[in-house]
Amino acid sequence: MNCARSIYFLTFISILVLADDPLGTPEGYLKYDIKKGASLNFAYEAVGYWNGSVFGWTEDSNGLPEYQKLFFFEGFNVRGVFKQEDGSYISLSREVSVYRDLDTGDILEAWTNIYSNEENEVFEVANDPVNAHLYPGLYATLY
């Protein structure tokens, strides 16, 4: 009998949770998606950060890939989101990434390519703007 009550209780709770699901509508999902990387309050700008490693690869004598770490990268983004009268949102953003030396961590201005042994100039990534018009239930329009 306790098992039946437990199943009934869990089913009842599940229905209550699903009925109030903030992701249950396109508008709810869009708000959730925006809040992962920004604020719904247009007075606040969000700052995002990322870092990682860049790898190159060649094939060994058996045709299998061999990977080698080439350099590090890191960057940040500043984003503001503004709600429109039609329920859509405008996302205004700028971002920059740099590449860093594996040994020193210094920002790379040049890098000797390990595959060609040639020196290459290295540029930062400056994406300005990174803007989008976001609609509930539809893909974003980038501009």
Residue pLDDT, tens place only, 106-128: 999 999 999 999 999 999 999 99
Reading the block at residue 56, the tokens are 């190159």
pLDDT one-digit tens code per residue, 10-50: 454 444 444 556 667 888 888 888 888 898 888 899 999 99
Contact at 8 Å (CB) between 98 and 124? yes
Mean pLDDT of 122-138: 90
Q: pTM of this prediction?
A: 0.70
- Longest CA pairwise span in the chain (Å): 76
d(CA 75, CA 46): 14
Mean pLDDT of 88-92: 93
Does the pLDDT at position 58 exceed 50?
yes
- Three-state DSSP at 114 gives coil
